[in-house]
């Protein structure tokens, strides 16, 4: 497979986005991250444009050693020398020199007669400038890139002449920028096909550089690859002049996911894409929209019931790449008004919540009702919803009629309970002593209900203030690895403790009944009644 070189220009073209300027320290941090991401080339800045730009390029060239560090220069001697000087301490460096080639740019930027009085004379001047500055850049480094600015609106015959001049002067990479984002994908690819046919390009890499004014930057860059471009210039999150540049993460993942179509690869460490995107977003203050491809917060979230159902069965149904491969969290099932039963119950199961099959209908009904009122439903909402439903809908087996406790200094705590067994209508009175008053109460309840379970945890907290503060007791009991919770509130903490325990026993008793009925009816039938 051919390799496509990833030329990252976040720190140069990306920083040209209005309001995106970064400090030298931020640029250095991002350059180190781009090195981790394994981009091939970092365009670190435009040294002649300001002392800060010069210093940023200089420091990045000195401190970031893996990728090639590139500096931008117009085809003006002072620019090329500034770029060469800023890169001097770099290990592997590139000078990228550019000049406008479209008639629109020549008329506007080279309107003065000193560049020539006719368009032909101005075009000839551009050819001379290209030749002179590419040669000068080669005196600093063997790696020289030439860009024909506004190539996308340049006369193709003339563009080929410029490319030949740049190559003859020693350019090793020739970039064909769609500076204004004007081209359509087939047109942009056509430039590469024509240039490859009409120019001698031995040892020269053709490069794509696209802007997003029509939202086509990525599509155009990919079209360039299909037509023979082997370098793509792009930025993290697609930031850049006006509507931005082609987004690195989209390009890289398109080439990877559709390698069958492109037949090329990149060396990008794709698992670092999301963290890099976050870092650039923080440094520039440009938020990443939730629906942004690859790195957006919603890129791997599924809310619609049909989608959740599909993804839970097989991620391939609605995901064309693995979230982990781009550094996102897998299978983010967002629960909201479009979610279905599968999304809800699979989340509840993951949260370790037990539900009787016959409770599911009511839990789902309440969930839909809540989702109509609340945008997104979080785990705490679900926990509350399920507990409330269970409390209100479960068959009550035991009811605490009375509890009396006697305790004091030097006396063994004793408890007396009266418990009603609802299904049979009988009541049972029991007395027990224990290590403490609560232990005594629980032993008496066990005797009255014939229970043998493990008390996994007992917690008490005050849920109001003052001398008559309400105590909330939460009890967790377990039987054969299944856990049941009981919660009760009272100003009398002994009463709350007894009621919480009775509630947990009720949950356990209901669970046993449900298990029996599921065995009796059969899983398949229950599931088919509950539907998708």
> Smallest distance from the beta carbon of 209 to ligand KIV, in angstroms?
5
Q: Which stretch binds Zn ion (CB under 5 A): 11-19, 73-81, 86-94, 104-112?
A: 11-19
When the beta carbons of 16 and 433 are compared against Zn ion, the nearer one is 16
Please check whether residue 227 is in contact with residue 239, taking contact to mean a CB–CB distance below 8 angstroms: no
Of the two residues 150 and 503, which places its CB atom closer to ligand KIV in the complex? 150
Q: Which is nearer to ligand KIV, 42 or 323 (CB)?
A: 42
Q: What is the rounded distance in angstroms from the CA atom of residue 403 to the CA atom of residue 398? A: 14
**Nearest to Zn ion of 33, 221 (CB atom):** 221
CA atoms of 338 and 325, how far apart (whole Å) = 27
Q: How far is the CB of 532 from ligand KIV (least distance, A)?
A: 51
13 touching Zn ion, by CB under 5 A: yes
- What's the half-sphere exposure (Cβ side, CA atoms, 13 Å) at 272? 16
Partner that binds at residue 284, options Zn ion, ligand KIV, none, CB closer than 5 to 8 Å by kind: none
Residue 494's nearest CA partner among 458, 464, 520, 522 is: 458
State the nearest-atom distance from the C-beta of 9 to ligand KIV, in Å: 7
By beta-carbon proximity to ligand KIV, the closer residue of 74 and 443 is 74
Query: Cα–chain-centroid distance for residue 257?
Result: 17
- Look up residue 462 and give its two tokens: 């005050």
390 part of the interface to ligand KIV, by CB under 6 A: no
Q: Using alpha carbons only, what angle is made at residue 427 by residues 423 and 431, rounded to the nearest 5 degrees?
A: 135
Query: What is the distance between the alpha carbons of residues 277 and 254, in angstroms, rounded to a whole number?
Result: 17
Q: Are 319 and 300 in contact (CB under 8 A)?
A: yes
String marking each residue 399-418 x if it binds ligand KIV according to CB under 6 A: --------------------
Q: Which of 32, 35, 24, 31 shows the shortest CA–CA distance to 67? A: 35
Binding to Zn ion in span 395-454, by CB under 5 A? none
* Burial environment of residue 202 by CB neighbours within 10 A (0 to 12, 13 to 18, 19 or more): exposed
CB of 251 vs ligand KIV, minimal distance in Å: 16
String of DSSP letters for 209-223: EEB-TTS-HHHHHHH
Q: Smallest distance from the beta carbon of 98 to ligand KIV, in angstroms?
A: 4
Rg of the chain on CA atoms, in Å: 35
| Residue among 321, 269, 275, 276 at smallest CA distance from 300 | 321
226-245 footprint of ligand KIV as x/- string (CB under 6 A)? --------------------
CA–CA dist 386, 391 (Å, integer):
8
Select the span of 12-20, 58-66, 362-370, 421-429 touching Zn ion (CB under 5 A).
Answer: 12-20
Distance of CA 183 to the CA centre of its chain: 30
Instruction: For the segment 112-151, give every residue that binds ligand KIV (CB under 6 A).
Output: 147, 149
**Which of 318, 284, 312 has the alpha carbon at shortest distance from 298?**
318
* Closer CB to Zn ion, 106 or 217, in the complex: 217
Q: Per-residue x/- mask for ligand KIV, residues 151 to 190, rule CB under 6 A?
A: ------------------------x-x-x-----------
Residue 98 binds ligand KIV (CB under 6 A): yes
Residue 507 interaction partner, one of ligand KIV, Zn ion, none, beta carbon < 5-8 Å per kind = none
Which lies closer to Zn ion via its Cβ, residue 147 or residue 390? 147
Interacting span for Zn ion (CB under 5 A) from 7-15, 58-66, 90-98, 359-367: 7-15
The nearest distance, CB 101 to ligand KIV, in angstroms, is: 10
Piece of the chain touching Zn ion by CB under 5 A; list 10-18, 158-166, 383-391, 411-419: 10-18
Give the nearest distance from C-beta 210 to Zn ion in angstroms: 8
Smallest gap from residue 353 Cβ to ligand KIV (A): 55
Q: How far is the CB of 211 from ligand KIV (least distance, A)?
A: 6
Q: Are 467 and 357 in contact (CB under 8 A)?
A: no
Write the DSSP string, 226-242. HTT--EEEEBGGG--ST
Residue nearest to Zn ion (CB): 13
Which pairing describes strands 332-333 and 2-3: parallel, antiparallel, or unpaired? unpaired
Tell me: does residue 13 bind ligand KIV (CB under 6 A): yes
Q: Which residues contact 133 (CB under 8 A, 6 or more apart)?
A: 73, 74, 75, 76, 77, 79, 80, 97, 99
- What whole-number distance in Å separates Cα of residue 9 and Cα of residue 233? 7
Report phi then psi at 181, rounded to 5. 65, 35
Q: Which is nearer to ligand KIV, 10 or 179 (CB)?
A: 179
The region, left, alpha or beta by phi > 0 then psi within -120 to 50, assigned to residue 238 is left
CB crowding 410-431: b at 16 or more within 10 Å, else e: eeebbbbbbbbbeeeeeebebe
Nearer residue to ligand KIV within complex by CB, 239 or 419: 239
Q: How far is the CB of 175 from ligand KIV (least distance, A)?
A: 6
Least Å from the CB of residue 324 to ligand KIV: 34
Nearer to ligand KIV, 177 or 340 (CB): 177
**Residue 77 three-state SS:** helix
Q: How far is the CB of 169 from Zn ion (least distance, A)?
A: 22
Q: In this structure, are residues 119 and 103 in contact, taking their beta carbons and an 8 Å threshold?
A: yes
54 sits near ligand KIV (criterion: CB under 6 A): no
Tell me the site size for ligand KIV, rule CB under 6 A.
9
Through-space distance between the first and last CA atoms of the chain, rounded to whole angstroms: 44
Site string for ligand KIV, 209-228 (x = CB under 6 A): x-x-----------------
Can you give the binding site for ligand KIV, defined by CB under 6 A?
A: 13, 98, 147, 149, 175, 177, 179, 209, 211
Residue ranges binding Zn ion (CB under 5 A): 13
């Amino acid at each position: 497979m051919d390799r496509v070189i990833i030329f990252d220009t976040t720190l140069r073209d990306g920083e040209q986005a209005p309001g995106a300027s970064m400090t030298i320290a931020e640029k250095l941090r991002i350059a180190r991250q781009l090195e981790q991401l394994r981009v091939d080339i970092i365009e670190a800045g435009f040294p002649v444009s300001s002392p800060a730009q010069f210093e940023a390029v200089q420091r990045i060239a000195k401190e970031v050693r893996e990728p090639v560090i590139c500096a931008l220069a117009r085809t003006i001697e002072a620019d090329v020398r500034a770029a060469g000087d800023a890169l001097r301490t770099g290990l592997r460096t590139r000078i990228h020199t550019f000049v406008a080639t479209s008639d629109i740019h020549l008329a506007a930027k080279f309107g003065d007669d000193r560049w020539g009085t006719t368009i032909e004379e101005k075009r000839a001047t551009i050819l001379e400038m290209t030749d002179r500055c590419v040669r000068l850049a080669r005196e600093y480094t063997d790696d020289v890139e030439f860009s024909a600015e506004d190539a996308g609106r340049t006369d193709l015959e003339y563009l080929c002449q410029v490319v030949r001049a740049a190559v003859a002067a020693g350019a090793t990479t020739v970039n064909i920028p769609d500076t204004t984002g004007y081209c359509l994908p087939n047109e942009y690819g056509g430039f590469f096909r024509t240039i490859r046919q009409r120019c001698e390009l031995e040892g020269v890499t053709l490069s794509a550089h696209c802007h997003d004014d029509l939202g086509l930057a990525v599509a155009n860059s990919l079209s360039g690859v299909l037509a023979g471009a082997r370098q793509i210039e792009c930025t993290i999150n697609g930031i850049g002049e006006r509507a931005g540049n082609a987004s690195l993460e989209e390009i890289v993942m398109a080439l990877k996911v559709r390698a069958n179509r492109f037949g090329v690869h990149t060396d990008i460490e794709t698992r670092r894409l999301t963290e890099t995107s976050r870092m650039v977003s923080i440094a520039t203050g440009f938020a990443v929209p939730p629906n942004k491809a690859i790195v957006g917060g919603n890129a791997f979230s599924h809310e619609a019931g049909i989608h959740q159902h599909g993804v839970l069965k097989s991620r391939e149904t609605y995901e064309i790449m693995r979230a982990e491969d781009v550094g996102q969290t897998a299978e983010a099932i967002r629960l909201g008004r479009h979610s279905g039963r599968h999304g809800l119950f699979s989340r509840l199961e993951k949260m370790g919540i037990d539900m009787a099959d016959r409770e599911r209908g009511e839990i789902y009904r309440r969930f839909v009702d809540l989702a109509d009122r609340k945008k997104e439903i979080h785990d705490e909402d679900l926990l509350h919803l399920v507990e409330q439903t269970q409390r209100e809908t479960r068959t009550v087996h035991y009811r605490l009629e009375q509890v009396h406790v006697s305790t004091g200094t030097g006396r063994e705590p004793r408890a007396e309970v009266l418990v009603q067994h609802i299904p049979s209508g009988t009541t049972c009175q029991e007395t027990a002593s224990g290590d403490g008053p609560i232990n005594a109460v629980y032993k008496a309840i066990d005797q009255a209900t014939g229970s043998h379970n493990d008390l996994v945890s007992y917690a008490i907290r005050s849920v109001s203030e003052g001398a008559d503060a309400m105590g909330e007791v939460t009890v967790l009991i377990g039987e054969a690895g299944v856990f049941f919770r009981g919660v009760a509130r009272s100003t009398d903490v002994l009463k709350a403790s007894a009621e919480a325990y009775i509630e947990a026993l009720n949950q356990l008793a209901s669970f046993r009944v449900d298990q029996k009925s599921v065995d009796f009816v059969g899983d398949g039938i229950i599931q088919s009644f509950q539907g998708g």
